[in-house]
Chain A
Amino acid sequence: MKKYICPICSFTYDEAVGIEEENIKRETKWEDIPSEWVCPLCATNRVDFLEEKSDIKLNEQVSFSKEDEANTLRVLSIEEMSALCSNLSKGCEKQYRDEEANLFKQLSEYFKNKGDFTKDATFSDLSNFLQKDLDTNYKNAKNVITKSNDRGALRALVWGEKVTRILSSVINRYDKKKNELLENTNIYVCEICGFVYIGEKAPKICPVCKVPNMKIAQVKRR
């Protein structure tokens, strides 16, 4: 019995187990699954699945380019300041400091309203950013961070890269199916890691960060 793993979201098909919800019986061979079958979590095509080997490596190493060695860090953009403050607000909440949490939240909202809304924006613009993240930004970051042995940052990269792949796949699917993709179903976002899921019901646990689905929020249509 073999296992096959989704390169996007790491969903694993185990021949020994099958998939009860989709009426795929136990001990169904991978070859016997119809070719139109897609990953139940992220709709990746069956052909793109990889056989699970113990030393599976989904991300090849690229050599690190020393683009710029300048030591000064740039100032944060307005949009980043908003994200920084909402993040700090969450941090204060975890420390039960409601007053500080609230102040950071207000600051975050202030910056959010100051964001630049004047540029044209389409899903394909987003797609370009996602591609660049996947092609270079995550690889560079992984190189630097692996060297420094910063496990927290590495964890953020592993989750972030998975979520980024999923976002990219969501936009590709939208590109093909247009509104039909969402018309008769729901869309969810994991409030911990940002995982996006399209389907009737949210998965029991988030496939990326493993949080139970009480932290996976449905995004309403308005």
Chain B
Amino acid sequence: MHAVRNIRLCTKDCLCLYVCPTGATDTESGQIDATKCISGCRACVDACPSHAIFLIPDEYPLQQKKTNDVEKALLTLSESKTRQEQLALTIIKTSDDPIVRQLAQALSMSNRLLAEDVLREAGYMLPQSQNVKDFLQSLLDTPQPEDFPIEIVEKLLNIL
């Protein structure tokens, strides 16, 4: 477990700087240096008056496997939602009526959120899950267009 700071909650009282035995809380980025943080110490968590610091796990547990039926039912929905998003995006691109574009924008945002939610529940909640790694690997294993950012996928596979 290491400490992370929610910058939106941080009120810059800086008590965390004074209690940390390793200086991990004192960084220019506002985030706590995970490499210096002592696992489970939590001195800063308890000191912070704004409840801005939390401990999070270094490794996340394996995700529960979804049954095939469930996954399929959810993917039927994700397909529908993403096609609706695509229609809305096409309307935004092709219409010259600002009100039509505004409505289409709202519909595209909503459908993106709906698609994300069902995909998350279809077994892609945790970025570290095997499903996600398989997905990334499949991008490398199949032919991709020339402009495909292979380096990003490789990097992700490396650091996740």
* Contact status B91-A123, CB under 8 Å: yes
Q: Does B130 contact A (CB under 8 A)?
A: no
* Contact status B110-A189, CB under 8 Å: yes
- Chain B residues with Cβ below 8 Å from A145 are 70, 73
Residue interface bits A141-175, CB-to-B below 8 A is 1, else 0: 10011011010110010011001100100110010
CA distance A135 to B5 in the complex (A): 45
* Contact status A133-B77, CB under 8 Å: yes
* Contact status B107-A141, CB under 8 Å: no
Contact-residue size bin, chain B (C-beta under 8 Å from the other chain): 35 or more
CA distance A213 to B127 in the complex (A): 28
Q: Does A59 contact B (CB under 8 A)?
A: no
CA distance A147 to B135 in the complex (A): 27
Q: Name the one of A110, A160, A164 contacting B148, with C-beta atoms under 8 angstroms.
A: A110
- Chain B residues with Cβ below 8 Å from A100 are 127, 156, 159-160
User: What count of chain A residues pass the 8 Å CB interface test?
Assistant: 83
Q: Does B41 contact A (CB under 8 A)?
A: no
Residue interface bits B73-113, CB-to-A below 8 A is 1, else 0: 11111111111111111110110011111111111011111
- Chain B residues with Cβ below 8 Å from A189 are 106, 109-110, 113
Residues of A within 8 A of B (CB): 71, 73-77, 79-80, 82-84, 86-88, 90-92, 95-100, 103-104, 106-107, 110, 112, 114-117, 119-123, 125-126, 129-130, 132-133, 137-138, 140-141, 144-145, 147-148, 150, 152-153, 156, 159-160, 163-164, 167, 170-171, 174, 179, 181-183, 187-196, 217, 219-222
